[in-house]
Structure 1
Amino acid sequence: MARISASVFTSHVPAIGVAIDQGKTQEAYWQPLFQGYEYSRQWMRDNRPDVIFLIYNDHATAFSLDLIPTFAIGTGTEYFPADEGWGPRRVPKVVGHPQLASHIAQSVIQQDFDLTIVNQLDVDHGLTVPLSLMCGEQPVDGAWPCPVIPFAVNVVQYPVPSGQRCFNLGRSIRKAVESFDEDLNVQIWGTGGMSHQLQGARAGLINQEWDNCFLDQLVHHPATLAKVPHIDYVREAGSEGIELVMWLIARGAMADVDDPARTPTVKHRFYHVPASNTAVGHLILENG
């Protein structure tokens, strides 16, 4: 059967993609951030999965206020970088895995989670920046290391899903993966966050203490973290800090959630501020 071997958590700041694409990774401002992902890129080379299930939020490119799915799974064969106003990123197209994606959709919907099925989708920085950070720079005519299943979550327009619902969804995704009748090594990635606010009187807010407490709880007490209400995210981590509920989907998919004896191994942890007025957090957990 297929299995989830590891979870990856990372911010997906758009300016990180710009820095990569414009060759600025060694500049004084950006160098400390990219150094924090050097271990991760080597880890990816050593632990290349067969499929990545990547949780992100669309930033009004594939979806707009005309249509806002709470949870949307990409079941197509390929996805192209979106034009977010200054042309698509010059990175490879994303190759999908329709068989596993369709199976997950079937299984999760039968577990009473409503998903929107998306067969055609352009993917923005929310998905491509994590791939660049973890896999390194790739030529536009090249390829990412493995197929990717995009899973978009609405954390832009209220109402957004609760942390508890996201956590429970992660458990259902793991059950779906494990019921797929093919020997696949799957990684699940949760992206977005950490603390940041891009507008209003608190624009530029970063809460390092809250962010690091979140990382601690994500590792050791995820079920407790799942109960944190939306207002806490907004008050402590800024209006865009609500993106962190997406990390709870990936954490809920880890084996220890239902089998406490399988404590995950923390392979890497990194935190850095600022990156374009945003806090960057990163974790790699391997299933016990």
Structure 2
Amino acid sequence: MAKIIGGIGTSHAPSLAYAYDHGKQSDPDWKPVFDTYGQAKQWLAEARPDVIIAFYNDHLNRFFFDAYPTFALGIGDQHPIADEGWGRRPFPALPGHPQLAIHLAESLVSDEFDLTICQEIEIDHGILSPLPLLTDARWPAPIIPVEINVIQAPLPTPARCFKLGQAIRRAVASFPSDLRVVVMGTGGLSHQLSGQRFGHLNPDWDVEFMNRLVDEPGELSRITLKELMVRGGVESVEVIMWLAMRGALSPQVTRVLQYSYSPMLTGYGLLVMDDHGL
């Protein structure tokens, strides 16, 4: 039987990718970020996952406004790197895990989640901003991408995303092979990149959100999209992908690492949790 052994919540700001690609690891402004991701990278290496299920959103690279799915699942044996307008980053394609991915698709549809099933899916910075910081671009395990719409209204509610994570936990538990699975949710934290509140940050809310995600995720999932936008900024609704990740974990988890930092336009966050299946 497959089991979920832990979860990671992480920002996916493009600035993380820029800093990694341009060797900013020792820059005074970036060193605290890279040092903290180094701790998470060590945790991931010691966890030895066989598969990583990554909740993220596509930034109009695989999907566009004419047909943007609420939830999509990549089931291919590999996932190429998207060209986001300035050339593909020099990384190998992400390996997939078709056997588990197809099992997830069948289980989720039976659980009344209507998915877009993608035989091919290109991965953009929704996964590729944080992943090299956690792996040094040596992909530690196959990746199953689960796309969640945070781009075009109507968006799925936080509660629906949390329930999606719970359904994925049930699906993983029913997979017949022994696999160690890590779940990852990307996006956020507080930021707004448009309108009169351009540049809005709320570091206090970022900390509160992560604390409640660990300790009271069910209650947190009942927050509305409007409240998320008011407290964290319009684009901070990306944290619904963290809620999907948390839904895939046990009710009781162990907080391994928590970090938040708001130096520029985006609140960065990193959260690592052990799942002992309690």
Deviation of 1:29 (Å): 1.9
2:223 to 205, 228, 235: 228
Q: Which runs of 5+ in 1 are unaligned?
A: 257-262
Q: Say whether 1:285 aligns with 2:273.
A: yes
- Tell me the CA shift for residue 26 of structure 1: 1.5
Report the RMSD for the aligned CA atoms in angstroms. 1.0
CA apart distance, 1:175: 0.4
Aligned-partner Cα distance in 2 for 1:227–1:111: 20
- Extract unaligned runs of 5+ from structure 2: none
Matched residue, 2:90:
90
Matched, 1:5 2:5: yes
Which residue number corresponds to residue 64 of structure 1?
Answer: 64
SS at the partner of 2:66?
coil
What SS is found at the alignment partner of 1:150?
strand
Q: How far off is 1:203 after superposition?
A: 1.0
Give the C-alpha shift of residue 208 in structure 1: 0.7
1:192 to 2:181 alignment: no
Distance in 1 (CA, whole Å) between partners of 2:79 and 2:112 is: 27
* Rounded Cα–Cα distance in structure 1 between residues aligned with 2:48 and 2:241: 23
The answer as to whether partners of 1:73 and 1:152 remain within 8 angstroms in 2 is: yes
* 2:272 maps to 1:272: no
Mapped contact 1:12–1:191 kept (Cα < 8 A): yes
SS at 1:255 equivalent: coil
The one-letter amino acid of 2:230's match is R
C-alpha distance in 1 between matches for 2:67 and 2:15? 26
Aligned match of 2:157: 162
Per the normalisation by structure 1, the TM-score is: 0.94
Shift of 1:206: 0.6
Deviations along 1:119-138, one digit per CA (max 9) or x if unpaired, are 111100111122112112x3
Residue aligning to 1:210 = 205
Give the structure 2 partner of residue 133 of structure 1.
133
Contact 2:158–2:222 (CA under 8 A) maintained in structure 1:
yes
TM-score by length of 2: 0.97
Q: CA deviation at 1:168?
A: 0.8
Q: Aligned AA for 2:257? A: H
> Equivalent residue for 1:259?
none
The 5-angstrom pairing of residues 21-36 of structure 1 reads 21-36=21-36
- Shift of the alpha carbon at 1:266? 0.7
CA contact (8 A) 1:21 1:90 kept: no
Task: Decide which of 147, 155, 158 is 1:152's aligned counterpart.
Answer: 147
SS at match of 1:126: helix
Paired residues in the alignment total 276
How far apart, in 1, do the equivalents of 2:97 and 2:71 lie?
18
Structure 1: which amino acid aligns with 2:253? P
Residue by residue, what CA displacement relative to the aligned partner does 1:194-225 show, whole Å, maximum 9, x if unpaired?
00011221111110111111011101010100
Once the two structures are TM-superposed, the CA of residue 47 in structure 1 deviates from its matched residue by: 1.1
Cα distance in 2 for partners of 1:114, 1:20 equals 36
8 Å CA contact retained: 1:12, 1:130: yes
Once the two structures are TM-superposed, the CA of residue 25 in structure 1 deviates from its matched residue by 2.0
Amino acid at match of 2:262: V
Return the match for 1:246 from 241, 245, 262: 241
Whether 1:80 aligns to 2:62 is: no
Cα shift readout 1:6-29 (whole Å, capped 9, x = no counterpart):
011000011111111111222122
Contact 2:109–2:115 (CA<8 Å) still a contact in 1? yes
**CA shift at 1:92, angstroms?**
2.0
Runs of 4+ residues deviating >3 angstroms: none
Q: State the alpha-carbon separation in 2 of the partners of residues 113 and 40 from structure 1.
A: 31
Are the equivalent residues in 1 in contact too, given 2:16–2:130 (CA < 8 A)? no
